[in-house]
Structure 1
């Protein structure tokens, strides 16, 4: 069985989450420097079977794309060239950062721990994955 991997693409950091092989549980995997994302994915795809990659689609409240969308389109074009057989879908990621931060508060993380932007990105990727799984 294969996993589903979710990407919360950012200018500096990218959060990554993945399902278990039965596609029942979404878990944060890691946060990588965006510059290193392609090599990370190559390594991960060699080690784990992934059938689908979810890429967050950043939108404003009114439904228009945010300023990060241009970077993501560039990434998607490169992704299609490097991983031509890998399926991908876009998932609306509105409010995932706010939801991730609230999750950190609800989990009882201290203020210093909540300032860890890499953790916010990883949790955001997990929320993107959960959104897809539970729709």
Structure 2
């Protein structure tokens, strides 16, 4: 069964998550340099059958664009051109970083470990993906 992948796009680094084969559980793939994102996606698509890409879409709480929204728009268009065989969906990512940080606290991570922004990005991608999977 084809899987779903979620991307928490960032200026420097990007968090990735992929579903299990049954599209029930989100699993973190890790955090990568944004410059290497397309190459890493091609690698993931070679390893796993993926039919859907979820791209976290950043907006302010009032619905206005953030400083990175325009970059995400361009990346969304790039994904559609590079991977026309995959369904690409923009997903609201408001609150995911806060939810990721709270998940780290709830899991008992020490303060020093909670300052790892790469881990927050990966967990944010998992939250985006799990929310999507739960509503399918």
RMSD: 0.9
Q: Give the drift of 1:48.
A: 0.6
- C-alpha separation between the residues in 2 aligned to 1:93 and 1:129? 10
Contact 2:24–2:134 (CA under 8 A) maintained in structure 1: no
Match of 2:4 in 1: 4
Residues 89-127 of structure 1: CA deviation (Å, up to 9, x unaligned)? 011100100110010000000111111111000000001
Q: Give the drift of 1:81.
A: 2.1
Instruction: Indicate whether 1:68 and 2:68 are aligned.
Output: yes
3-state SS of 1:101 partner: helix
Contact 2:6–2:55 (CA under 8 A) maintained in structure 1: yes
Match of 2:45 in 1: 45
- C-alpha separation between the residues in 1 aligned to 2:101 and 2:27? 16
Identify unmatched segments of 5+ residues in structure 1.
none
Q: TM-score, normalised on structure 2?
A: 0.95
Residue range with higher mean Cα deviation, 67-76 or 97-106: 67-76
Runs of 4+ in 1 over 4 A off after TM superposition: none
Identify unmatched segments of 5+ residues in structure 2.
none
